[in-house]
Structure 1
Amino acid sequence: MLSSEILEYYRQGGERERLAAGAGRLEFLRTWDVLTRVLPAAPATVLDVGGATGVYAEPLARAGYRVHLVDPVPEHVAEAAARPGVTATVGDARALPAADHSADAVLLLGPLYHLLARDDRVAAWREAARVVRPGGVVVGATISRFTSLFDGFVKDYFSDPRFRPLVERALVDGVHHNADAGRTWFTSAYFHRPEDLADELTQAGLVVRRQVAVEGPLWMTGPRLTEILASRQLTDLLLEMLRRIEDEPSLLGASSHLLTVAVPR
């Protein structure tokens, strides 16, 4: 399933708190906002593939959905299974332990950017297409091609001369290859161009309905973002404004994450 490098990165436990503050918190709030608008109504069945420790699975279960989580990291699965209303299984996005047409919605919020080979990403999309029921929805998260370049300046990673080669390669072929999972930088991943996703989904038997910028460029605002998210009023305004421009094509590449909403062909 996962390479030993990526598995070790996630075994450090960063997923427990990653979405709780700053840009991670914005990612969660925006992803949740989109899900509330594109998922079928509860009590639909949701398969949360690559759902990590269940950060989305638990609120979905609380909202009345039947949620089963699949993740390749055993520690994630154990933690997710302890959440109220969530069941969880160790598994691979490319070979899901689920029957054909058994879910009303399939979430791929974690696996796609850790499948560096195109054939593996298409296999994950194809498995989602197999599992989702006719009339259901598939929602996949990907990372923008330019994220490591922006992140290098936001977090001063370029001060380490080893970081620039990672960025240079990612800009060329999308592969962010970080063989040392112990560094602060993100583990190895694939970074998409927004326009490249349609071909992957078409090959997998899915049709793109929408592409949505999750954070827009505001994930790069640093301490100011923390101040905004500390205010309920400013947070509500932020979410309202981002909703208005979420599918603006000229802004998709500036967002750290994209959500692609698709349906079976």
Structure 2
Amino acid sequence: MLDRGLKGARVLVTGALRGIGLATAERLAAEGAQVIVTDLSPPDDPLVGQVLGRLGPAAVYLRLDVTSETDWDLARGWVENRWGGLDVLVNNAGTDMVGPVDQASLAAWHRLMSINVDSVFLGVRTFTAALAAGGAGRRGGASVINVASIMGLVGFAETSAYNTSKGAVRLFTKAVAIEFAHAQKPIRVNSIHPGFVETPLLHVGMQRWVDQGKAAKAQDLMDAIAGMTPVKRLAQPDEIAAAIAFLASSDASYMTGSELVVDGGWTAQ
């Protein structure tokens, strides 16, 4: 098998117990990476044990509230003490918020920005030194992948806060990619922009619209969105994970500051 630089790679994935994060952890573990799975669940949650069992002995779990500087510092201490450096950081954790802008509370806005935007800043800031140490020995350097969305590229009704947060992730990615390149830090930073993916988060978002009287069933909304997508279906998490694995690998060694769109043609319309 072609060496893509992922065998033995030291990886941290946020929001990794479900959806895109879980699929990403599974894909990278399958390619031989050592994966730190992080999420909000306590270590004794049965789901944690199930996920670690699926990933194998090279995976470990750390509880990480991505909005907490303290939690990020604890994660950095673990990495520095056990590994000495980090090769791949996948900032995947996120949440959504739907509804008319004139009905949105400032508290809900701040909460979403904290989870979707502050977490990406904290992750990159916290692990810059560890990523530089890891990247020094890798073709193309270490890799940061920030999971944004097509909603960071185009607008969508009644998702203004989510659109704003993912647009911020897109430009933060470009800014730090250039900053690291100018400083000759061996760290690539790219964003990935999925379209509509069949994940627990999507189900929750659709149910919120149902609760607001937009449809009778969440499945009706998901079917409608699939019909609006040129390929006429939603994405599966493993399809996004494959693109993240590409950005993490040496196959993407000349990519930094880029936005990789995986949306079934949505933004091509």
TM-score (norm 2): 0.46
TM-score (norm 1): 0.47
Structure having the higher helix fraction is: 2
